[in-house]
């Protein structure tokens, strides 16, 4: 599939403490593979939530991704398991510390700048 530019997906609102996040939701294999590739920039409180069918060790890399990102690996309850800072256009694998069904990508250091760490619970529609 030839991807001409960034994909745009439907959004949901998530909450990280007092912070609102407008997250595009990547639900299909194709949407997840494309992810945030080819984006030139992303607004401060925007991100992408990757939703998988089953909890598994999820690994992400940054091929064709132009902006530095932080990935939060999130369990079904919305609890952040671990956060990985990722450099653009690299093939380094960044993996969840344990099986998860959700990965939230935000601009690099978004979580760190707000003091949001592993153990914080995100809230919003996909989390129970």
What are the pLDDT digits (tens) for 28-46?
Answer: 999 999 999 999 999 999 9
> Which is more confident, 89 or 2?
89
Contact (Cβ atoms closer than 8 angstroms) between residue 106 and residue 69: yes
Q: What pLDDT, in 10s, does the model give residues 70-83?
A: 999 999 999 999 99
- What pLDDT is recorded for position 5? 80
pLDDT, position 3: 55
37-9-3-90 Cα dihedral, nearest 10 degrees? 10
Task: Please compute the mean of the pLDDT values over residues 23-32 and round it to a whole number.
Answer: 97
Which residue reads 């999820």 in tokens?
Answer: 58
pTM of the model: 0.95
User: Is residue 85 scored above 60 in pLDDT?
Assistant: yes
Of 51, 115, 106, residue with least CA distance to 84: 106
pLDDT beyond 80 at 128: no
């Amino acid at each position: 599939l030839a991807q001409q530019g960034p994909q745009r997906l439907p959004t949901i609102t998530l909450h990280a403490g007092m912070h609102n996040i407008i997250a595009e939701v990547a639900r299909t294999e194709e949407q997840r593979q494309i992810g945030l590739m080819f984006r030139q920039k992303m607004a401060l409180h925007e991100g992408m939530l990757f939703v998988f069918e089953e909890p598994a060790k999820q690994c992400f890399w940054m091929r064709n991704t132009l902006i530095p990102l932080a990935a939060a690996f999130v369990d079904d309850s919305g609890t952040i398991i671990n956060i990985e800072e990722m450099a653009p256009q690299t093939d380094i694998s960044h993996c969840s510390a344990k099986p998860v069904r959700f990965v939230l990508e935000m601009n690099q250091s978004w979580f760190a700048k707000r003091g949001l760490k592993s153990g914080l619970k995100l809230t919003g529609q996909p989390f129970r």
